[in-house]
Amino acid sequence: MSAKLLRVTGLTKRFGTFHAVNDVSFEVAEGSIHSIIGPNGAGKTTLFRLLTGVHAPTSGSVVFEDGPIAGKRPYTIARKGLVQSFQMTSIFPRLTALESIAAVIVTRSGRSADLLTRFHRAVESEARELLESVGLGAEAETEARTLSHGDQRALDIALALATHPKLLLLDEPTSGMSPAETRKTTQLVVELARSSGLTVLFSEHDMDVVFEISERVTVLHQGRVIAEGTVAEVQSNPEVMAVYLGEGPVLEAVAN
């Protein structure tokens, strides 16, 4: 059994009387591709925010690589290797793709105070390699804001990858994408996980994507986990179907 990179236990986030995330527990195995699904308002975004430190939990724990991270500052968590790529692309508009990646590499290697040296060939070549791996090799000198939507998402993922994360969080990576772009992105994610042993945790609406690449799926509904397992297990789970079809009580009655 592979090591559990991320262990979430009883995680709860309350805003006033509203429980956005309610007693959520799951584990993510190292090197796996794990997805979180659920209808709108299920709490996926809040869950991710809890994991990355944007919110502090009301209760519960998050253990990453055997170290607790719940409630820590975002950059502390990022430094430990848990990095998110954002749903609303958050890039550096006026920097070229190459410069954007280089900026992250520089930061990662602690050289951001370096005032006088010019660019290391090493930084540049690593940046170019990374861009190649996300399919942006040709766009290295292009200003980020002039890239297509899909390319910007790829750049966003590349920025996250440049930090050499151990766990990559993707919040709805294919939203707003054309089928071709979706294809490209999913292939990319799979390749990354397979080739570099990167652990990926992502949330998605596109069920095709989920079922195609996930090894395990956790289903949220109204802040709670209602199902967890392999794709097949989740697909045949009546409660999950009910939640998605919206015919909860009726279907349950029928199933009983």
Partner 1 sequence: MLPTTTEPAATAGVVRARGGSGSFPVLGAALAAAAVGALVLAGALLPLDDALVVENAIGLAVFALATNLLLGFGGLVSFGQAAFYGSGAYVVMLVWEHWGWSFWLGFALAPLVGAALAFVIGVIALRTRQLYFALLTLAFTQLAYVLAQQQHEFTGGDNGLFGDVLPRWLADARQGYMFTLAVAVVCALLLWRIVNSPFGLVLRATRENRDRMEALGVNVFRHQLGAFVLSGAFCSVAGTLFVIHTQSAYPQLLEWTKSGEPILMAVIGGMFAFLGPVVGAFVYTLGHQWLVQHTAHWQLVLGAVLLGVVLLRPDGLAGLASSRPWRRLRTRNGGDE
Tokens of 114: 């370096």
What is the CA angle 15-80-123, rounded to 5? 125
Q: Looking at residues 135 to 154 of the shown chain, list those that interact with partner 1 (rule: CB under 8 A).
A: 143, 145-146
Q: Is 100 in the site for partner 1 (CB under 8 A)?
A: yes
15 lines the binding site for partner 1 (CB under 8 A): no
Should residue 107 be labelled a site residue for partner 1 when binding is judged by CB under 8 A? yes
Each residue 72-91 as x (binds partner 1 by CB under 8 A) or -, in order, gives --xx--xx------x-x-xx
By beta-carbon proximity to partner 1, the closer residue of 116 and 180 is 116
130 burial class (0-12, 13-18, 19+ CB within 10 angstroms)? buried
User: Is 69:77 a contact under the CB 8 Å cutoff?
Assistant: yes
* Four-point Cα dihedral 218, 221, 223, 227, nearest 10: -30
Q: How far apart are the C-alpha atoms of 77 and 86, rounded to whole Å?
A: 15
| Residue among 59, 68, 111, 132 that touches partner 1 (CB under 8 A) | 111
10 Å CB burial of residue 45 (0-12, 13-18, 19+) is middle
Q: Which is nearer to partner 1, 181 or 215 (CB)?
A: 181
Q: Select from 18, 121, 195, 249 the one that contacts partner 1 (CB under 8 A).
A: 121
Is 17 near partner 1 (CB under 8 A)?
A: no
Under rule CB under 8 A, which residues in 33-72 are in contact with partner 1?
Answer: 52
Interface with partner 1, residue 95, by CB under 8 A: yes
Using the rule CB under 8 A, which residue among 56, 71, 114, 232 binds partner 1? 114
Instruction: Find residue 167's DSSP bridge partners.
Output: 82, 199
As a dihedral over the C-alpha atoms of residue 52, residue 56, residue 58, residue 60, rounded to 10 degrees, the angle is 40
Give yes or no for a contact between 55 and 70, defined as CB atoms under 8 angstroms apart. Answer: no
Nearer to partner 1, 123 or 251 (CB): 123
Number of residues this chain uses to bind partner 1 (CB under 8 A) = 39
Binding site for partner 1 (CB under 8 A): 52, 74-75, 78-79, 86, 88, 90-96, 99-100, 102-104, 106-108, 111-119, 121, 123-124, 143, 145-146, 159, 163
